[in-house]
Amino acid sequence: MSEHTAKADFARDYLQDAIQRFRRLETMVDRSLAQVDDDAFFAALTPEGNSIAILLKHIAGSMRSRWRDLLTTDGEKPDRHRDTEFEVKQEDTRDAIMARWEAGWQYLFEAMELLGPEDLRRTIYIRERPHLIVQAINRQLAHYAYHVGQIVFLAKHFQSGDWKWLSIAPGQSEQFNAEMRRTARS
């Protein structure tokens, strides 16, 4: 295998892994949201804290700005009004926020699916600062994971006592590991 082929394979594997990690973050939020009612969706733990609704608005706004026209325009679009992402207005119903959330993921996945191995070293701009595509992807993965953790925390807090675990439930690690070993051998 040539060095060029190995690099292309690595880049392709990286892109596939990044897409899978974004999908996992989306799934974690969707599974968390399925467990909370509208009161919890809009509730914040403190007056200056963010609610699930606000976090979703912010992530969706970031996705729309960063991923729309990824290769051709600055990632901080002039029509993004970031400060308003941290306000819940009358028109911000759960359905409206969820529509923005879904549209944000659509921008992200459409942009990611268009990228090939050769694109990872291309330069794009975010707030007029240059980023390689690979840096921009990593930046967004880290940003979204940070906020997904907040959303899961809030959902779990508001569902206290009735939470359906998103990963291995407490006390189930050994059983899970045994199952993983069993399926790895077959």
Least confident interval from 2-11, 105-114, 170-179:
2-11
Question: What is d(CA 31, CA 109) in angstroms, rounded to the nearest whole number?
Answer: 19
Structure tokens at 1: 């295998």
Which of 8-12, 33-37, 168-172, 179-183 holds the top average pLDDT? 33-37
Those residues with Cβ within 8 angstroms of residue 23's Cβ, 6 or more apart along the chain or in another chain:
none
Q: How many domains does the chain have?
A: 1
Evaluate if residue 179 carries a pLDDT over 90. no
Contact 155, 51 (CB under 8 A): no
Q: What is the model's pTM?
A: 0.91
Contact 59, 147 (CB under 8 A): yes
Percentage of the chain modeled with pLDDT above 90: 82
**CATH number, domain with residue 27:** 1.20.120.450
Q: Tell me which residue of 132, 137, 41, 45 sits closest to 92, measured CA to CA.
A: 41
Q: Tell me which residue of 129, 11, 133, 130 sits closest to 67, measured CA to CA.
A: 133
Number of neighbours of residue 127 by Cβ within 10 angstroms: 8
Segment 54-84, tens digit of pLDDT: 999 999 999 999 999 999 999 999 999 999 9
Give the structural domain span for 65: 3-185
Segment 101-160, tens digit of pLDDT: 999 999 999 999 999 999 999 999 999 999 999 999 999 999 999 999 999 999 999 998
**Model confidence at 3, in pLDDT bands (50, 70, 90)?**
confident
> What's the chain's average pLDDT?
94
